[in-house]
Amino acid sequence: MVSSSYRRAILQSAVLVTIVFLIHMSHDLSNNNDNIYNNNLDTHEIKSISSTVTESMPTTNGYSNLSCPFEMSKFSCIYMHQGVNHQVAAHASMDYYRQHLEMIGETFRQVLFEDSHTTTTTTRRSNKRRILLSGDSLLRQIFISIACNAHSILPNTTLIQDAVIPWQDPWPIVYGPNNFPSIGGGVHGGFGSASIRLVNGMELHYVPHRGYNSDPTAGEPMIIQRLKEDIANYNGRITFGTKTAMPLSIDDHVDVLVFQVGIHYGLGESKTVLNHFANWISRPLMSVTGNNKDNNILHDGYETLHGGNNNDSIEQPPSRTRTIYITTPSQHFNTTNGQWEIMSMTPQSKKCIPGITSNPRADQEKKMLKPGVNGDVLLDYDDLQFGTMHVQYGDCSHYCMPGVPDGVATRLMQELLLV
Ligand SMILES: *[C@@H]1O[C@H](CO)[C@@H](O)[C@H](O)[C@H]1NC(C)=O
Ligand SMILES: *[C@@H]1O[C@H](CO)[C@@H](O)[C@H](O)[C@H]1NC(C)=O
Ligand SMILES: *[C@@H]1O[C@H](CO)[C@@H](O)[C@H](O)[C@H]1NC(C)=O
Ligand SMILES: *[C@@H]1O[C@H](CO)[C@@H](O)[C@H](O)[C@H]1NC(C)=O
């Protein structure tokens, strides 16, 4: 049984992955209510489709040096540090990745055993779960990591069924050692919102909560407010909003909300955002009761929205939205607590130090958010001693990829597969 569902999944994923790169995708596009499975993207809205990529299947596990089509070059230290001696970070993070390959492989392999064709009535809904990830560029790294491992961790197969990565052009260039530039637009440059669908039907939609390229409106800066209104208007349900890269129906149900405050707010502002997240969003969502058809709007409208080929007459109504909070990663600047200190950064303090004793952001988050009380899951990035694996050269906030984000992304994936 195991081997036949494995074989089926391989066959399924042998269908060539079509990766549509959308550049400057208009926001109108994400407002339409088309079922995303039609992928009826209006071609006039698409300024550039770079290509239909038919990836040759990787023969070795995992990704590196832009072998994954979802990597941003500035985070790929093997790529950025090429040809120079300063490769400590690149090698340390590659080693970290290799040490975790087995765990990553085992985790992602479970996606194959959820082949949507073999699921039963009771598991049907959970196999179509839809995830909303809201955070800044640090949470985007987790999204990239899930996409890249899904794409590459199993030999000769990919777990990606669809991907919409709206690469932006231009994208700000950063310079590595020897002034080696990151890719300044298009594939491997950078993107804001992006979506993937895996072969088991799971969808992940990343939407930046502070925008990108200095444009807050490109993301969803008011997302906490919007989710609060959703909970009130839809009686305990939250939806995807209008900024996802794969347009979703306006009423589409979020099965899991993954949230991270990130590093752009001051500590005081972060506290306010965390309070709002806990009191307006995660705690109220926890008190929504089951999927009882009579008392629960979770069911109302859901059947009609999800009619079609999926035989929804037997589909379970969705359960309440779960929340997963991932602590904000440590920064390792050469300052008292590793944090970037506005106004007082010197060339010396912009160098990354190997370890710090505490991460004030994560400490605040862990103090305020209690799993089971005001959120379902708290994932601790747990990275105080990982300072050598940052991108370096002025960036002691983001980690090299592959590397530290893959460990956290795998723990997140384990949680998502349990839901
Ligand atoms: C990484 O890829 C670039 C081409 O994009 C290549 O020039 C370089 O040699 C590669 N580095 C390693 C370590 O494989
Ligand atoms: C993967 O593909 C390569 C090249 O086609 C082949 O040599 C190898 O045996 C395959 N590996 C698996 C595990 O199927
Ligand atoms: C939907 O499921 C029901 C109950 O299992 C079954 O009787 C029916 O034939 C299915 N319909 C379709 C279109 O597959
Ligand atoms: C950190 O800064 C101090 C001076 O404040 C300096 O002595 C030390 O070498 C720096 N550490 C690193 C890793 O650059």
Confidence of residue 20 (pLDDT cuts 50, 70, 90): very low
Confidence of residue 116 (pLDDT cuts 50, 70, 90): low
**Helix, strand or coil, per DSSP, at residue 109:** helix
Q: What is the Å distance from ligand 2's center to 53 Cα?
A: 20
Confidence of residue 258 (pLDDT cuts 50, 70, 90): very high
Reported as a single tens digit per residue, the pLDDT across 159-175 is 999 999 999 999 999 99
Burial class from Cβ neighbours inside 10 Å (0-12, 13-18, 19+) for residue 259 reads buried
| 66 compared with 29, residue with greater pLDDT | 66
> Residue with the nearest Cα to atom 4 of ligand 4?
348
pLDDT of residue 84: 63
The C-alpha atoms of residue 140 and residue 131 are separated, in whole angstroms, by 13
Out of 30-44, 259-273, 347-361, 367-381, which region has the weakest mean confidence (pLDDT)? 30-44
User: Is the sign of the CA dihedral 169, 263, 101, 416 positive or negative?
Assistant: negative
State if residue 314 touches ligand 3 by the CB under 6 angstroms criterion. yes
pLDDT of residue 284: 96
Out of 122-136, 267-281, 322-336, 390-404, which region has the weakest mean confidence (pLDDT)? 122-136
Out of 86-100, 258-272, 343-357, which region has the weakest mean confidence (pLDDT)? 86-100
State if residue 82 touches ligand 1 by the CB under 6 angstroms criterion. yes
Question: In sequence order, which residues have a C-beta less than 8 Å from that of residue 414 and are 6 or more positions away?
Answer: 107
Which ligand approaches the C-alpha of residue 7 most closely? Answer: 2
State if residue 79 touches ligand 1 by the CB under 6 angstroms criterion. yes
**pLDDT > 90: what percent of the chain?**
65
Confidence of residue 113 (pLDDT cuts 50, 70, 90): confident
End-to-end alpha-carbon separation of the chain, Å?
Answer: 23
State if residue 311 touches ligand 3 by the CB under 6 angstroms criterion. yes
Q: Do residues 112 and 3 touch, judged by C-beta distance below 8 A?
A: no
Nearest by Cα to 363 from 380, 343, 377, 386: 380
And the tokens for 42?
């209006």
| 129 compared with 163, residue with greater pLDDT | 163
State if residue 155 touches ligand 2 by the CB under 6 angstroms criterion. yes
pLDDT of residue 38: 25
pLDDT of residue 314: 44
Q: What is the Å distance from ligand 1's center to 82 Cα?
A: 7
pTM of the entire predicted model = 0.82
Our measurement of the distance from residue 262's CA atom to the centroid of its chain's CA atoms, rounded to an integer in Å, reads 13
The best mutation among 336, 341, 348, 352 to test binding of ligand 4, ranked by most ligand atoms within 8 Å of the C-beta, falls on 348
pLDDT of residue 297: 47
The C-alpha atoms of residue 128 and residue 315 are separated, in whole angstroms, by 10
Q: What is the Å distance from ligand 1's center to 213 Cα?
A: 27
pLDDT of residue 52: 28
Confidence of residue 413 (pLDDT cuts 50, 70, 90): very high
Q: Which atom of ligand 1 is nearest to the CA of 79?
A: 1
Q: What is the Å distance from ligand 3's center to 312 Cα?
A: 9
pLDDT of residue 408: 98
pLDDT at residue 262 greater than cutoff 60 = yes
Mean of per-residue pLDDT scores for the chain: 81
Q: What is the Å distance from ligand 3's center to 311 Cα?
A: 6
Burial class from Cβ neighbours inside 10 Å (0-12, 13-18, 19+) for residue 184 reads middle
The best mutation among 82, 84, 97, 182 to test binding of ligand 1, ranked by most ligand atoms within 8 Å of the C-beta, falls on 82
Q: What is the Å distance from ligand 4's center to 396 Cα?
A: 14
> Residue with the nearest Cα to atom 4 of ligand 3?
314
The C-alpha atoms of residue 196 and residue 204 are separated, in whole angstroms, by 5
Reported as a single tens digit per residue, the pLDDT across 194-234 is 999 999 999 999 999 999 988 999 999 999 999 999 999 88
Which ligand approaches the C-alpha of residue 124 most closely? Answer: 3
Long-range contacts of 289-294 (CB under 8 A, 24+ apart): 289/320, 290/319, 290/320, 291/316, 291/317, 291/318, 291/319, 291/320, 293/317
Q: Where are the domains of the chain?
A: 2-418
Reported as a single tens digit per residue, the pLDDT across 269-312 is 999 999 999 999 999 999 987 554 444 445 444 444 444 444 44
Q: What is the Å distance from ligand 3's center to 128 Cα?
A: 18
Q: Which atom of ligand 1 is nearest to the CA of 65?
A: 1
Confidence of residue 111 (pLDDT cuts 50, 70, 90): very high
pLDDT of residue 230: 94
pLDDT of residue 362: 98
